Structure 1
Amino acid sequence: MKESPPPEISIVIPVYRSASILPETLAQLDAFFHAHPMKFEIVLVNDGSPDDSWEVLKQLKQGRDEIIIVDLIRNFGQHSAMMCGLKLSRGKFVVTMDDDLQNPPSEIIHLIDKINEGHDVVFGRFQQKQHGLIRRVGSKIVGWLNRKLFNKPRDLTLTNFRIIRRDIVDAVCKFRTNAPYLPGLLLMTGKSFANVDVVHHPRFEGESNYTVLVIAKLIWRLVFNYSAFPLRLLCGFGLLISLFAFLFGCYVIIKHFTFGIEQPGWTTLVVLISFFQGVTLVVLSAMGEYLVRILNDVSGPRAYLIRQVL
């Protein structure tokens, strides 16, 4: 059977604790595409949501071929769910957005207009953020890490409301990692990035899923999966210990020949143990850095597991 031509736009939305919001989200997306006719598809990925989100998705899917719903076997996290949606999407351009209507579907047209100027990725830049304090603080920390780890330009604002060219989506999906971080992968893959101002609404209903624990897990993923910073820190620590051992050894040797020492061999034992403990840390750190690089190269695509696709 011949496959139908790809749609112009794919909308990818990870779903978590959003059973009551989903009907309104779909209604606003339908209103947008009614006002801006184009061939589209909507990919909704249920990320192991503990509420009735999957049942609601199945009801919304009925009779609509342009809607693709995915049920993951458990909660893998927003970035893994987003990666799943990207791999299933077929659109020439892919828009990613949250499920809480803080990114109004009516603003998608601004992303489309901007990327048609020739950019690889366009991020919505919120005119006035409506996030809570915890997420704002977390965003500051993650933003600093993005600059250090992925060379993010200082004048570029990263958000989950973005549009991506198909070739960049395909390149990102080729990364083999069980801990995807989509903004970082986009920065590593794309060349031309841009922002466009969009409206940001307060959450339509309920509370944000961005807790301290969720943000801490994201920071942990960034530091340990996309950098060798902890290993280099340990390596530096080992070098400091070796230097301290050397200086301490000089002190003990001078003391030995100046004042004498009651226990023969104590000087040699202290110096050797201190020095080689420091050297051991340096060697283990270096081996660890190579091991991380190898694991990142050969790790399989275990970022998510799908239970069902409809």
Structure 2
Amino acid sequence: MISIIVPVFNSEKSIVKLCHQITEIMINLQQAYEIILVDDGSQDCSYLWMKKLSCNHSNIISIQLARNYGQQNALLCGLRNSKGDYVVTIDDDLQYTPKDISKLFEKMNEGYDVVYGVPKEKVNSTLRNFGSNFKEVMFRCFLKKPKDITITSFRILRKSVVEKITLDKNSFVYLSAMTFRCTQNVANVSVKHKPRLHGKSNYSYFKLIHLMLYTIIYYSNCPLLKPLKKHKPQYIIKEIIK
């Protein structure tokens, strides 16, 4: 089985179309699958659409978090509720196309533990592209990420890696940092990346700096940073519809 996890935030205009596209490609792959939608405190009608999808499709699971915890926390919640031998994570904005799940799966079958889908040409703002490049440098310095591997939010993970990741109790969650703690057997594959059709990215310099600092504090091996770690729930689930 393949589990597809989608962190959802204010995506009422795209979530139904995304689920239909995922369903279509999974039928073509002839693979058993489940779609896990995790609503991370949306302020629009996203969760209402999610509930309708779950009521009409037995393999779509909808999870509503108690508030907005952040995309990474929503992903971790999805991982803990997944049953698949392989787990795919994909954004809710339709910039990554579900058709490329087949590319991730094909590359995974070469024996890798994790495969990231990397756009040939990424359609993002200058700030977001700068942030991605800065993260690459930081991950190589502090987390021993292989130099030739690029990190994205579109990936497939083997169940054995997911099981290790879900044991992590850090209150600050960063999935790729957890991943490189578990395995270095990682690959990239080229995928498409489309312009954003609905909504806008909430990326900012403040969030970029916050991500960098907290990743170093929580995932580097420096003992001097240990007192800076906070202890709070990674997320609280309000409702699950299966």
For the aligned pair, the TM-score class normalised by the smaller chain equals over 0.9
Q: Partners in 2 of 1:27 and 1:226 — Cα distance?
A: 37
User: Corresponding residue for 2:227?
Assistant: 291
Contact 2:217 2:226 in 1 (8 A): no
Farther off after superposition, 214-223 or 35-44: 214-223
User: Corresponding residue for 2:66?
Assistant: 73
Farther off after superposition, 219-228 or 72-81: 219-228
| Unpaired runs of at least 5, structure 1 | 1-7, 230-285
The share of aligned pairs that are identical, in percent, is: 34
TM-superposed CA distance for 1:56, in Å, is 1.3
TM-superposed CA distance for 1:217, in Å, is 2.5
Any residues of structure 2 matched to 1:231-246 within 5 Å, and which? none
Which of 108, 111, 129 is residue 101 of structure 2 equivalent to? 108
User: Which AA in structure 1 matches 2:227?
Assistant: L
User: Corresponding residue for 1:53?
Assistant: 46
1:85 aligns with 2:78: yes
TM-superposed CA distance for 1:227, in Å, is 3.2
Which of 156, 181, 184 is residue 188 of structure 1 equivalent to? 181
Q: Partners in 1 of 2:173 and 2:35 — Cα distance?
A: 21
TM-superposed CA distance for 1:33, in Å, is 1.8
Residues 121-165 of structure 1: CA deviation (Å, up to 9, x unaligned): 001111110111121111122111111111111111111100000
Which of 144, 150, 157 is residue 143 of structure 2 equivalent to? 150
User: Corresponding residue for 2:190?
Assistant: 197
Q: Partners in 2 of 1:194 and 1:290 — Cα distance?
A: 31
Which of 15, 29, 45 is residue 8 of structure 2 equivalent to? 15
| Structure 2 counterpart SS, 1:62 | helix
Q: Partners in 2 of 1:65 and 1:177 — Cα distance?
A: 33
TM-superposed CA distance for 1:289, in Å, is 4.2
Q: Partners in 1 of 2:13 and 2:126 — Cα distance?
A: 24
TM-superposed CA distance for 1:195, in Å, is 0.6
> TM-score if structure 1 supplies the norm length?
0.74
CA-atom RMSD, angstroms?
1.7
1:171 aligns with 2:164: yes
Q: Computing the radius of gyration over CA atoms, which structure comes out larger, 1 or 2?
A: 1
User: Corresponding residue for 2:119?
Assistant: 126
| Structure 1 counterpart SS, 2:133 | helix
1:304 aligns with 2:240: no
Contact 2:217 2:225 in 1 (8 A): no
Q: Partners in 1 of 2:155 and 2:131 — Cα distance?
A: 19
User: Which AA in structure 2 matches 1:78?
Assistant: Q
Q: Partners in 2 of 1:210 and 1:32 — Cα distance?
A: 30
User: Which AA in structure 1 matches 2:158?
Assistant: R
Any residues of structure 2 matched to 1:4-43 within 5 Å, and which? 8-43=1-36
TM-superposed CA distance for 1:228, in Å, is 6.7
| Unpaired runs of at least 5, structure 2 | none
TM-superposed CA distance for 1:204, in Å, is 2.5
The number of residues matched between the two structures is 241
User: Corresponding residue for 1:239?
Assistant: none
Which of 195, 208, 217 is residue 215 of structure 1 equivalent to? 208
The structure-2 alpha-carbon separation of the partners of 1:111 and 1:35, relative to structure 1 and needing over 3 Å to count, comes to same
Residues 188-217 of structure 1: CA deviation (Å, up to 9, x unaligned): 101311111111111132212323333232
User: Which AA in structure 1 matches 2:12?
Assistant: A
TM-superposed CA distance for 1:226, in Å, is 2.2
User: Which AA in structure 2 matches 1:303?
Assistant: Q
Contact 2:145 2:184 in 1 (8 A): no
Any residues of structure 2 matched to 1:248-267 within 5 Å, and which? none
The structure-2 alpha-carbon separation of the partners of 1:194 and 1:58, relative to structure 1 and needing over 3 Å to count, comes to same
Q: Partners in 1 of 2:28 and 2:132 — Cα distance?
A: 33
Q: Partners in 1 of 2:79 and 2:193 — Cα distance?
A: 23
Residues 8-61 of structure 1: CA deviation (Å, up to 9, x unaligned): 100001001111111111121122123222100000100011111111111121
| Structure 2 counterpart SS, 1:200 | coil
1:117 aligns with 2:119: no
